[in-house]
Homo-oligomer: A and B are copies of this chain.
């Protein structure tokens, strides 16, 4: 890319949610002109772009018309019309991540086959076309059934414990995966630019809200043994190189009780598991994604502080115009950074924002994060 290009660069983002919003906060520093496509007229990015188009991300004509004439397109969600992106790519629009990678990652079946073909450790699995075939599955009970397409934030996933659960299983193209009794869930973010420069962020540990199946709490950096972190980094780099991706790739991993690392899922974009990088690392995941897609050298990914990220989820029982309780109290706490996502309406477990807590002392950061969780509420 020409080095004087940024000022005139027309960048389209498919999706105008919180990831797009935080990406724009960084893109402002590059003078990029931002175009957003999102189905929601109240999308969080709506007021932060040069052009906002309200439209379906999975509709060929909508995506094609949106992208025609842009210099570059990126995504903040995988559920987009890939055929349109492929056509735009053929016509010279830079699409990062590349359409073939989005196509692969959209389909959890193809994603698993990719792992297998490239010797990337992952839980044993079997592709399933209909519920019926679960009766003679090759994976022993209990297992997880995952829809091949359109699962998101815990939706499209079922645990099949006994044969009685098969009746309630998804009747759709899916995969079943051996139930992994993991010790920890880790995430590692890697970036790759068109020159082939690859850089990983330090490994982070995640804690899930079991009710919502969303990342609720994230600790950076991980305190796992160096050897395990190094293995995770090498794995993330290998995947980025096997894919030849341009952009950011979030790699979610299980650490099993016997010390194995198994790749769970990929996301070819900034990811919830990287939000703490805004304050916790020298380069944020959003800045790194821009560096990668603009073919700039990767930034320093080292941690600047211990950081704990808390997702701010809509409170159960509240559905409607969002109000926030506890902002003043949390901003009086040490090392607390608030990020609200500009969502007008809350509903139970909707991601309404996040808080990052930094502290030289890891335990102090965790303890403040717990206080934040008890104090900050999104209600109606």
Chain B residues in 8 Å Cβ range of A296: 327-328, 331
Q: Of residues 320 to 349 in A, which have CB atoms within 8 Å of B's CB atoms?
A: 321-328, 331-332, 334-335, 337-342, 344
Of A48, A304, A322, chain B has the most CB atoms within 10 Å of the CB of A48
Bitwise, A169-180 to B at CB < 8 A (1) or not (0) is 000000000000
Structural contact, B4 and A340, CB atoms closer than 8 A: no
Chain B residues in 8 Å Cβ range of A304: 304
Q: Of the candidates B3, B325, B327, which one forms a contact with A328 in the assembled complex, judged by CB atoms under 8 Å apart?
A: B3
Q: Of residues 57 to 110 in A, which have CB atoms within 8 Å of B's CB atoms?
A: none
Which of A23-31, A129-137, A145-153, A157-165 is the contact stretch?
Answer: A23-31
Bound CA–CA A300/B342 (angstroms) = 25
Q: Of the candidates B4, B28, B332, which one forms a contact with A21 in the assembled complex, judged by CB atoms under 8 Å apart?
A: B28
Interface check A299, CB cutoff 8 A: yes
Interface check A291, CB cutoff 8 A: yes
Structural contact, B33 and A325, CB atoms closer than 8 A: no
Copies of this chain held together in the complex:
2
A12 to chain B, nearest CB (A): 14
Secondary structure type dominating chain A contacts: mixed
Bound CA–CA A291/B327 (angstroms) = 11
Structural contact, B29 and A323, CB atoms closer than 8 A: no
Structural contact, B322 and A7, CB atoms closer than 8 A: yes
Chain B residues in 8 Å Cβ range of A291: 331
Interface check A139, CB cutoff 8 A: no
Structural contact, B48 and A326, CB atoms closer than 8 A: no
A58 to chain B, nearest CB (A): 26
Bound CA–CA A300/B332 (angstroms) = 9
Interface check A297, CB cutoff 8 A: yes
Interface check A115, CB cutoff 8 A: no
Structural contact, A324 and B25, CB atoms closer than 8 A: no
Chain B residues in 8 Å Cβ range of A48: 28, 47-48
Chain B residues in 8 Å Cβ range of A4: 323-325, 327
Structural contact, A3 and B324, CB atoms closer than 8 A: yes
3 A-B pairs with the lowest CB-CB distances in the bound complex, closest first: A4-B323, A297-B332, A31-B340
Question: Given A6-B324, A25-B28, 11 other A-B contacts at CB below 8 A?
Answer: A3-B325, A4-B325, A4-B327, A6-B340, A7-B344, A29-B337, A30-B338, A31-B342, A47-B48, A296-B328, A296-B331
What are 21 residue pairs bridging A and B, where the CB atoms are less than 8 Å apart in the complex?
A3-B324, A3-B325, A3-B326, A7-B321, A7-B322, A7-B323, A7-B324, A7-B344, A21-B28, A24-B28, A28-B342, A29-B337, A29-B338, A29-B339, A30-B340, A34-B47, A47-B48, A296-B327, A296-B331, A297-B332, A300-B335
